Every structure is written in structure tokens, then in C-alpha cells.
């Protein structure tokens, strides 16, 4: 056994604090249908100086990750993605500090590599060999890749409207792909029916505890890449919301570890006008959302999530951080894609373009102040979405 010196020591229901055995296979709490959260013995204290000589990937934060035996880690060198300084747009729109963390540099082209790399590695440690997932595209690509790397089996359920490159990505990795009429929730329903005997491990967003732990490494990187000073505003495209929740979780862990001395960051959740359940709940002052009826087709596939399983955690994050939620139009997204490409040379995902448009809206309304340090999150590569974009640009 190759120890990672992880200080992971418990799993808790985020709502009632009920504990679950970390040596058993856990999904979510079936009593109240709430996610389980990995917790760590942060009182031990860790010296961030130990990071200096470690590999530039997400496993550099191994003590605060849930893998106990490094022999079970399945890695494609995910994480430690670059942060771009958006100087041209900063000057044009009178920001003093405007940056973008670019998750398209991950394996399989998106931030999903972090979450699925972690979930598959931990499941591998627990003896699981076969997985299933509903996906709008990128999560299926990531699960397929990590299962291929680990000699495991993936069953992918995706809407028929998903760009064909995602279908190809999954199939060429050896996954079993099922196309479904409707949206990601419909794909999930078909998957659950096919998996009624629970023969496959379900890695749906937040229905297992460890995708969140992979996503939270974005938060650790944001701090480390900025010399342990956090941005004032972090703007995130929010479908399932695991990244938003994870970044905030990382910040709170680092505060307890003494790696940072305060958290100035206000978290922003961005959705589309045609599917914005979190925005609607936030604007009504609610701490839970209801499923969005008949979500519109969007070029930002990852934002077409009518009901996030972790909706309460998303809204809790926004409240704790004094953040906000807002939505943008398809026209806005296309405009953002064009502007980022032509001004910064960055061909980013439609979800990332939505984030940039939200930043402009918040700057114009003065919710973002001129001297705020603003960080945008681009969650993936535009090349995966090319067929969505042809009719708009060619």
C-alpha cells in the first residue's frame, strides 16, 4: 500500500450532520435525498510550503483529498490549469483586474476531468468496476476516459441533441452510449431504469461524494496561483453546480488550515434565460429550487440542467459568500464567444462565454466595482461544441 497521508476522516450529510462509514460504498443520504460531503481532520495542520516540489496537477493537494492508497489513483495529469490575464477586455470595459481560469487545458477538454478522475479513483479504491452517468457531454467524455485508463466500464446516457463529438469521444474510449430524447434529466431517468438492479455505480453529479472533491481543487489552485490571495469576485457557469460548491468548500478548508487569512470572494452563478432554476430561486430569496419546466435548447449544453441535485448547496454557497445569480441570453453567449476570440485569442466554451457576459452585466450595474479582482471560469474547450456553432458563424 502506498499511503497518500490523506487526512480524510468522515462523510457527512450536509443538512443534518449524519455520519457515514468511509470504508463502505456510499452515494447520498436516502433518508432526505441530500448529498454527502467529505470531511478532513484539518486540526492536524498542514504546511503549504510542502507543495513546492510536487507535480503540477490536482493530486498535489493529496492530504485534503479522499484517496488513502495512491496505487488506486487513475490520473491523466488533470488540474493546475492556467489563468489568463484578459488585458484587452480589462481595458475596454474599465476593469482593474480581469482574469480567466481556463479549464479547457484539462484532459478530455473540460473541468469534468477533475471530478470524474477523483470519483473513479475513489470508486476504484472501494472495488467498483462499472459506472453509469447521465451527461450533457463533457462528463460523459471524462468518465469514459478514466474508465478506459483504469480498465473499467462506463455506461453513458446523453440527450440526442448532444454534439456528435461527445458521442464519438465516449464511444472511441469504449463506453456503452445510449442516446435519449429530451434533456439531461430525461437521460437520468432512462439510466435509472436501466440500472434498476444497481449493477452499475451511479456517478451522477453529487449523488456520490467525490466528484466534488476533484472540483474543489480549482479553489486550491486559484489561491496558490494568486500567491494565496483570493479574488473578490468569482463567476461560474452553473448547471449541476459542483464546481461552484467545490471552490467555496476549498476556500473554507484553507481558512481553517491557515493557508489564507480571510475569504473576500463573492460567488456568482450564471445560467441561461431558457433554463435558470437557481436564478429564480435566488431572486425569490429561497434556499431550494424547483425543477425548471421545458428547458430551452442552448448552445451551452452544460447549462441545460432543469434541476441540480445539489441545488440547496448552490444557494447556500451564494448566500454565505454574499454572491448573486443571474442568467444570460443565447445572443449574449454568442457575443461573448466572438469578443473573447477576437480580443483575447481565446476560443472558449459557450458556458465560459456566458460567464464573461455576466461579468459585463454586473460591472454595468456596479455590483462589480472597478477595483474588484474578478476571476472568470471557462469550464471547457469550444472545439467540443463546434457543430453547435457552425450555423451561427459560418
Q: What are phi and psi of 271, to 5 degrees?
A: -130, 180
Asked if residue 320 is part of any domain, the answer here is yes
Lowest mean pLDDT segment, chosen from 119-128, 322-331, 361-370, 380-389: 380-389
**Total structural domains within the chain:** 1
Cell numbers for 212, please give them.
466534488
**Residue 228 sits in which domain range?**
83-107+212-393
331 lies in some domain = yes
What average pLDDT does this structure show over 149-164?
Answer: 96
H or E stretch at 248: helix 242-257
Q: In what order do the strands lie in the sheet with 19-20?
A: 19-20, 8-13, 34-40, 28-29
- pLDDT of 25 above 70: yes
CA–CA distance, 117 with 121 (Å, rounded to integer): 6
How confident is residue 8, by pLDDT bands cut at 50, 70 and 90?
very high
Confidence band (pLDDT; 50, 70, 90) for 218? very high
pLDDT reading at 394 higher than 80:
no
- Provide the pLDDT confidence category of residue 392 given band limits of 50, 70 and 90: confident
Residue 1 has pLDDT above 70, yes or no: no
Give residue 71's pLDDT band: very low, low, confident or very high (50, 70, 90): very high
Q: Residue 338: pLDDT above 80? A: yes
pTM of the predicted model as reported, rounded to 2 decimal places? 0.97
The answer as to whether 181 is a domain residue is no
Q: What is the mean pLDDT of residues 116-143?
A: 97
For residue 288, is it within any domain?
yes
Confidence of residue 387 (pLDDT cuts 50, 70, 90): confident
Is the separation of the CB atoms in 118 and 213 below 8 Å? yes
**Residue 37 is assigned to a structural domain of this protein:** no
133 burial class (0-12, 13-18, 19+ CB within 10 angstroms)? Answer: buried
Q: How many CA atoms are closer than 13 Å to the CA of 322, on its beta-carbon side?
A: 8
224 domain residue, yes or no:
yes
201 part of a folded domain: no
pLDDT in tens, 259-316: 999 999 999 999 999 999 999 999 999 999 999 999 999 999 999 999 999 999 999 9
Report in angstroms the alpha-carbon separations of 76 from 58, 72, 129.
10, 13, 18
CATH classification of the domain holding 323: 3.40.50.1100
Mean pLDDT (the chain, rounded):
96
34 is a domain residue: no
Amino acid at each position: 500500500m502506498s499511503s497518500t497521508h490523506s487526512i480524510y476522516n468522515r462523510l457527512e450529510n450536509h443538512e443534518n450532520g449524519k455520519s457515514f462509514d468511509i470504508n463502505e460504498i456510499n452515494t447520498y443520504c436516502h433518508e432526505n435525498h441530500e448529498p454527502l460531503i467529505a470531511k478532513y481532520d484539518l486540526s492536524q495542520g498542514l504546511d503549504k510550503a510542502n507543495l513546492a516540489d510536487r507535480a503540477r496537477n490536482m493530486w498535489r493537494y493529496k492530504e485534503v483529498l479522499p484517496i488513502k492508497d495512491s496505487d488506486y489513483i487513475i490520473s491523466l495529469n488533470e488540474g493546475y490549469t492556467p489563468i489568463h490575464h484578459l488585458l484587452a477586455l480589462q481595458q475596454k470595459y474599465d476593469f482593474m483586474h480581469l482574469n480567466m481560469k481556463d479549464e479547457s487545458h484539462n484532459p478530455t477538454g473540460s473541468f469534468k476531468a477533475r471530478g470524474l478522475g477523483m470519483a473513479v479513483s475513489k470508486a476504484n479504491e472501494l472495488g467498483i468496476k462499472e459506472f453509469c452517468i447521465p451527461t450533457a457531454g463533457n462528463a460523459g467524455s471524462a468518465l469514459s476516459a478514466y474508465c478506459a485508463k483504469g480498465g473499467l466500464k462506463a455506461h453513458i446516457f446523453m440527450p440526442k441533441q448532444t454534439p456528435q463529438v461527445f458521442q464519438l469521444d465516449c464511444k472511441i474510449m469504449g463506453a456503452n452510449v445510449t442516446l435519449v430524447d429530451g434533456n439531461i434529466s430525461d437521460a437520468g431517468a432512462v439510466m435509472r431504469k436501466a440500472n434498476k438492479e444497481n449493477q452499475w455505480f451511479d456517478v451522477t453529479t453529487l449523488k456520490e461524494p467525490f466528484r466534488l472533491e476533484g472540483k474543489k481543487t480549482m479553489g486550491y489552485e486559484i489561491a496558490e496561483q494568486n500567491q494565496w490571495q483570493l479574488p473578490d469576485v468569482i463567476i461560474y457557469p452553473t448547471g449541476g453546480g459542483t464546481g461552484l460548491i467545490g471552490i467555496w468548500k476549498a476556500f473554507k478548508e484553507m481558512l481553517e488550515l491557515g493557508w489564507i487569512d480571510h475569504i473576500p470572494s463573492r460567488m456568482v452563478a450564471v445560467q441561461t434565460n431558457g433554463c435558470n432554476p437557481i436564478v429564480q430561486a435566488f431572486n425569490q430569496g429561497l434556499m431550494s429550487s424547483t425543477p425548471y419546466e421545458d428547458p430551452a435548447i442552448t448552445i451551452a449544453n452544460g447549462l441545460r440542467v432543469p434541476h441540480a441535485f445539489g441545488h440547496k448547496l448552490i444557494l447556500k454557497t451564494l448566500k454565505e459568500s454574499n454572491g448573486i445569480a443571474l442568467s444570460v441570453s443565447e445572443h449574449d453567449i454568442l457575443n461573448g464567444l466572438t469578443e473573447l476570440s477576437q480580443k483575447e485569442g481565446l476560443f472558449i466554451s459557450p458556458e465560459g462565454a456566458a460567464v464573461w457576459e455576466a461579468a459585463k452585466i454586473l460591472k454595468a450595474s456596479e455590483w462589480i466595482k472597478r477595483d474588484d479582482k474578478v476571476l472568470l471560469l471557462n469550464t471547457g474547450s469550444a472545439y467540443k461544441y463546434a457543430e453547435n456553432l457552425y450555423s451561427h458563424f459560418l
